Copies of this chain bind each other. A is one copy, B any other.
Amino acid sequence: MLLGKVIGTVWSTRKDENLVGSKFLIVRQVNLELEPQKSTVIAVDSVGAGFGEIVLVAQGSSARQTTFTKNKPVDAVIMAIVDKLDINVKEQLKEILEN
């Protein structure tokens, strides 16, 4: 899954009939320090994510495995809202020293 932050919404009236009611959110990818990265993805929300929240996005056919997205033409879904990341300190230090 991709780690990202909800930064906006896409509005669409003309869309596939199965998508009526689906909410398209704009998610900007973030790194492990939660800093915004360049790439963004448009994902359907299945967990009630709000602006500024850190989320996990599942892509591909896995994006259709929620009750909100089943059999729908969507390739990205927000399936979890992140409480916190827990990064192993020793690993983090080693990586900083090595780089």
A residues 16-32 touching B (CB-CB < 8 Å): 16, 18-19, 24, 26, 28, 31-32
Q: Give the distance to chain B from A44, nearest Cβ to Cβ, in Å.
A: 8
10 CB < 8 A contacts A-B: A7-B87, A11-B86, A12-B81, A15-B56, A16-B46, A26-B87, A35-B98, A58-B73, A61-B61, A73-B79
Quickly give the copy total for this chain.
Answer: 5
Q: Are A56 and B98 in contact (CB under 8 A)?
A: no
- Most chain B beta-carbon neighbours within 10 Å: one of A13, A16, A42, A87: A16
Extra A-B contacts (12), CB below 8 Å, given A15-B81, A19-B80: A1-B24, A7-B88, A8-B32, A8-B86, A9-B86, A28-B95, A46-B73, A58-B73, A58-B75, A62-B72, A63-B73, A65-B74
